[in-house]
Chain A
Amino acid sequence: MSKIEAQHVDFHYGSFHALKDINMSIKEHEVVAFIGPSGCGKSTFLRLFNRMNDLIPDTRLDGQITIDGQNIYDRSVNVDELRKNVGMVFQRPNPFPKSIYENVAYGLRVNGIKDEAFIAEMVEESLRGAALWDEVKDKLKKSAYALSGGQQQRLCIARAMAVSPSVLLMDEPASALDPISTAKVEELIHEIKKDYTIIIVTHNMQQATRVSDKTAFFYLGQLIEYDNTNKIFTNPSKEETQNYITGRFG
């Protein structure tokens, strides 16, 4: 059974029809890359999975999105609980103005966990999981802003991992990073994919090929093609996909 299932998803910003009848099914522990030109709706679609678009006024969603069989837009769903299960990493590293330790502990604290020993354990585990522990273990009390951009981004990944989500959404996680930090983030994605279902939005085609199992190409709010990544990048079935990935666009 698929982990995430989107059925006939339509999304409007005011009168703008941002997503048009999108159907997609994502298996557990799969890494799916969303590609497409700016404004094609890929980020909008990504942000539906943790209901981040709820924050934007005057939007409308039709269709259904289920995670583990549960319709996440159902009235009975607690959005905060959903977001605990569906973590998110943003385009620019956005650590809080707190210490490295407190950044990772934040998600646990706001979810009402008071047991300091448990928090400390989870912080270490998450930082290890994000391959950051060795770099920061001696300066956990230092400000997160003392870290480099790449480290900050991995801190944000650790922060998301600390609340034990099963899905990780990544919105161009490496677009603000240098190549080496990018490589580390990609390596990290490779390592953690056994524990998470990961959806990653990227403008970097090579990144999509390197990290993802499946690739979805969006164009003008439509899901043009969704297939295995190697299929998309060697032999896409749609002309638009081929034009986009070979750079012969528009």
Chain B
Amino acid sequence: MDNKNISVNNHARKMLAQNVAFTTFRILSGVIVTILFIILAFIIIKGASVLNWDFITTPPTDGMKGGGIWPAIVGTFYLMVGSALFAFPLGIMSGIYMNEYASHGKIVKFIRMMTNNLAGIPSIVFGLFGMSLFVNFFGFGDSILAGSLTLGLLALPLVIRTTEEALKAIPNSFREGSLALGATKLQTIWHVILPMGMPNIITGLILALGRVSGETAPILFTCAAYFLPQLPESVFDQCMALPYHLYVLATSGTDMDKQIPIAYGTALVLVIIILFVNLLANALRNYFQNKLKTN
């Protein structure tokens, strides 16, 4: 009888503890979501007033007191594409090498440690490094090329990491299954492993793109133009970029009353672009996964 009572009490206490814990978790997640919504709402409310077709498609005028942000959008796009061209092949290949070819050696452990450290370096340091290497040493000058390479460097650890993780998640039995049929390692990677890892790799790539599109510091010294109404014509030209434009408007404007709304508009466009990129990541991931299942 006593035993039974004890177990009943114990059960009640456990239930209470569980309820308290779950309620706490629920409230905390609610708070986080609320904060996110407040930020979004703030930017939308402040920025929506200037957001219209002209704002997106025309260059700034009147010393950035009027007009739109078209060159900054284009510049950001160029920088994203440029850094992707540099970081994706390099990062994916390194990831493949590290997971498929040399996943046990000491060298790989070292490389992995270094990429992790690279990911932790503040972006302004990348900016400085990019300036001294690409702008000055290679003589690219302040240019889309230098900016893209610097941003690519920033994205590289992220790409390597996601590729590695994506490949690691594929069960070994698929590699063995392919090798057991007389396929070479390269054939196995190309025909089996990469297609299977693609959904996760692509997601990682696009998230890296999102990260790149929002960075200011790395392009500060390597590429970004303070004010450049015309579009860049070659990779050696400077360009404007959304985050930097936002920074300039907010910190060194000459007419705050006119420029602050433009800054919010810029922020809104940037947020929308990043949001869109993330949605695209999800959509592509789903697409590739379905393709794997049904093809």
Contacts and interface: CB of A to CB of B under 8 A. Distances in A.
Task: Determine whether A and B are in direct contact in the complex, meaning some CB atoms lie less than 8 angstroms apart.
Answer: yes
Interface of A: 50, 52, 55, 57-58, 80-81, 83-84, 87-88, 90-92, 94-99, 106-107, 109-111, 142-143, 145-146, 156, 159-160, 163
B184 interface: yes
A143 B294 contact: yes
Given A97-B196, A97-B295, A143-B293, A87 B181 contact: yes
A143 B182 contact: no
Contact of A50 (B180, B187, B293): B180
Given A94-B171, A98-B295, A110 B178 contact: yes
Contacts of A84: 181-182
Interface of B: 104, 171, 173-184, 187, 191-192, 195-196, 292-295
Q: Is the interface of B mostly helix, strand, loop or mixed?
A: helix
Contact of B180 (A87, A92, A95, A109): A87
A80 B174 contact: no
A95 B173 CA distance: 9
A111 B173 contact: no
26 contacts: A50-B180, A52-B176, A55-B176, A58-B104, A80-B184, A83-B180, A88-B176, A88-B180, A90-B173, A90-B180, A94-B176, A96-B177, A97-B196, A97-B293, A97-B295, A106-B183, A107-B183, A110-B182, A110-B184, A111-B181, A111-B182, A143-B292, A143-B294, A146-B294, A163-B181, A163-B182
Nearest to A98: B295
Contacts of B175: 55
Nearest 10 interchain pairs by C-beta: A84-B182, A107-B181, A88-B180, A110-B183, A97-B292, A94-B173, A94-B177, A83-B182, A80-B182, A110-B187
Nearest to A108: B181
Contacts of A52: 176, 179-180
B131 to A, nearest CB: 42
Contacts of B191: 96, 106, 109-110
B45 to A, nearest CB: 46
Nearest to B180: A88
B157 to A, nearest CB: 25
Contact of A160 (B174, B179, B181, B294): B181
Nearest to B103: A57
Contacts of A145: 293
A185 to B, nearest CB: 16
A99 B181 contact: no
A87 B182 CA distance: 9
A107 B173 contact: no
A50 B177 CA distance: 12
Contacts of B176: 52, 55, 88, 90, 94
Contacts of A146: 294
A55 B179 contact: yes
A99 B295 contact: yes
A88 B182 CA distance: 10
B236 to A, nearest CB: 43
A97 to B, nearest CB: 4
Contacts of A94: 171, 173-174, 176-177
A163 B83 CA distance: 44
A58 B294 CA distance: 39
Contacts of A106: 178, 181, 183, 191
